[in-house]
Amino acid sequence: DRLPALLQRMPKAELHIHIEGSLEPELIFALAERNGVTLALDSVEALRAAYAFTDLQSFLDIYYAGASVLLTEQDFHDMAMAYFRRAAADHVVHAELFFDPQTHTERGVPFETVVRGLKRACEDAERELGVSALLILCFLRHLSEEAAFETLAQALPHRDAIAGIGLDSSERGHPPEKFARVFARCRELGFRLVAHAGEEGPPAYVWSALDTLHVERIDHGVRSIDDPALMARLARDGVPLTVCPLSNLKLCVVSSLSEHPLPALLAAGLRATINSDDPAYFGGYLNRNFTETFAALPQLGAAEAYRLARNSLEASFVAPERQAAWV
């Protein structure tokens, strides 16, 4: 069967990766030691054993605790470089990295420490690995819109290092419209816009991400499958969805990969892509998401593999004339 080799070797872009979610337990412990941080769990094995999630919030609690070891510019750089090496091995030619500055500024880590470390890693990835990269700043939706405005103000001196703005963290109870004014401001400033919607939250959150925030891509969006009018809208406008199959499995958004809506999304003509979300926590990097999803879903074959790879490159925030170098 040649499908696994095709999935692994084809050039692809990753558009939904939280860089703090690439922090492997081994690196968490190495950074804790380097920085003199004490962790609640005392071994890599104990930490891995705690990665048994029942929903999004049960994951987020552990994910924010893991990020507490990140203190210096070098820490952010080393975390991102470890991800870029894995991505290059998976034939990722371009990656758009989410980062959560509020997770760090709330602990007293300066905004510029975070962005400088990540920016330097993006430059090193391009030069050393041939992987191009962009940064997308995500506002934490469980915090206030006022806090998002403060974070935006901290980002402005680094405007050129940040391609886009996203919205992540606890979805239910924090609809996109809570951030309407700050997203409007980001739009005026020329940032590219995305938002998590329709992961655990209802299709109504996908509608408001599109119509109130005016985002260009929907992160996750799998619950759109429950709303035929929304499916038609997403297909008509060619709105990319950054789908994360292993994340959906581990956070109990789907009960098994064989029931994942990805084949139905593709069959309806939606511009779906495959991504890893938080690979250190959900059991695999990009190629593992491809191979496990295709193994569980016999409806997916070579045609869908090419479609997903092409969608990922075309849905990136890189100008079409520069995408030609990838294929």
- Catalytic amino acids? 199
Minimum CB distance to ligand HPA, residue 157 (Å): 25
The answer to the question of whether 75 is labelled as a binding residue is: no
Nearer to ligand HPA, 96 or 305 (CB): 96
Q: Pairing state of beta strands 92-99 and 132-140? A: parallel
Q: Side chain identity at 194, as an amino acid letter?
A: V
Interhelix angle 73-89/111-124, rounded to 10 degrees, is 30
Nearer to ligand HPA, 247 or 273 (CB): 247
The answer to the question of whether 77 is labelled as a binding residue is: no
Return residues touching ligand HPA (CB under 6 A): 18, 21, 56, 63, 168-169, 196, 199, 247, 277-278
Q: What residue 242 binds from ligand HPA, Zn ion, none (CB within 5 to 8 A, per partner kind)?
A: none
Nearer to ligand HPA, 117 or 245 (CB): 245
Distance in angstroms between the alpha carbons of the first and the last residue of the chain: 24
Our finding on whether 100 is near Zn ion (CB under 5 A) is no
Minimum CB distance to ligand HPA, residue 6 (Å): 27
Q: Per CB under 5 A, which region of 26-34, 140-148, 223-231, 269-277 contacts Zn ion? A: 269-277
Nearer to ligand HPA, 64 or 149 (CB): 64
Give residues 182-221 in contact with Zn ion (rule: CB under 5 A): none
Q: What residue 141 binds from Zn ion, ligand HPA, none (CB within 5 to 8 A, per partner kind)?
A: none
The answer to the question of whether 104 is labelled as a binding residue is: no
Query: How far from 149 is each of 154, 162, 182, 288, CA to CA, in Å?
Result: 9, 16, 6, 37
Minimum CB distance to Zn ion, residue 298 (Å): 27
Nearer to ligand HPA, 18 or 223 (CB): 18
Among 277, 304, 309, 316, binds Zn ion (CB under 5 A): 277
Minimum CB distance to ligand HPA, residue 196 (Å): 5
The answer to the question of whether 78 is labelled as a binding residue is: no
Q: Which residues are annotated as a binding site?
A: 16, 18, 196, 277-278
Q: Which residues are annotated as a binding site for Zn(2+)?
A: 16, 18, 196, 277
